[in-house]
Amino acid sequence: MAEARGAEETAEGTSTADRGVGGTAGASVVLVCTGNICRSVMAERVLRSRLAAEGIEAIVDSAGISDEESGNPIDPRAVRVLTEAGYDTADHAARQITAEWLGERDLALAMTQRHRAALERLVADLPAERRPEIRMFRSFDPAAAGLTGTELDVADPWYGDQAGFTTTLEQVEAAVPAIVEEIRARRSA
């Protein structure tokens, strides 16, 4: 694991230790939402696709703060919007995030302030050098510049119709290019 460089929180959504990439060829990122069947897995699939297109190696996975969907596949509405956009949707089983898992990642990207608070609680007992940097996913979206708090939440499509999943995918795709650049910078640090 890399050395901690600070624990300052900023308007952009950074918090806990700002860590670089440790030991492997790439960064390690976990994307987190509630049940790991909509937002976080959509972001995981988009990010993996973009990293592969750029030839960048990184560990990218996703999880939920809840275990209520554990073992379930991607929501069929998310599968539809991801497939239509050309992303892979195979082989997913929802999982719940743990402190140990977070301790193995350099960066944890929360879909909402509620998810971020849950991640902060999970890492509270980890040694500082094992805490990932925790950021809001949309803090990477140029259109979200200047937003704070719940304004940075990624829209929850669960309770809506197919259009909600399209909106979520648009928010995800808007943030991913800057996340790719963040991973690229961490790899060269």
Show which residues are catalytic. Answer: 33, 39, 156
Count CB neighbours of 136 within 10 A: 28
Question: Which residue type does 127 have?
Answer: P
Half-sphere exposure (Cβ direction) of 154: Cα atoms closer than 13 Å: 36
Residue 69 to residue 140: CA distance in whole angstroms? 27
Residue 82 to residue 57: CA distance in whole angstroms? 22
DSSP at 85: T
Q: Which of these, 109, 34, 116, lies nearest to 75 by C-alpha position?
A: 34
CB 141 within 8 A of CB 167: no
DSSP at 106: S
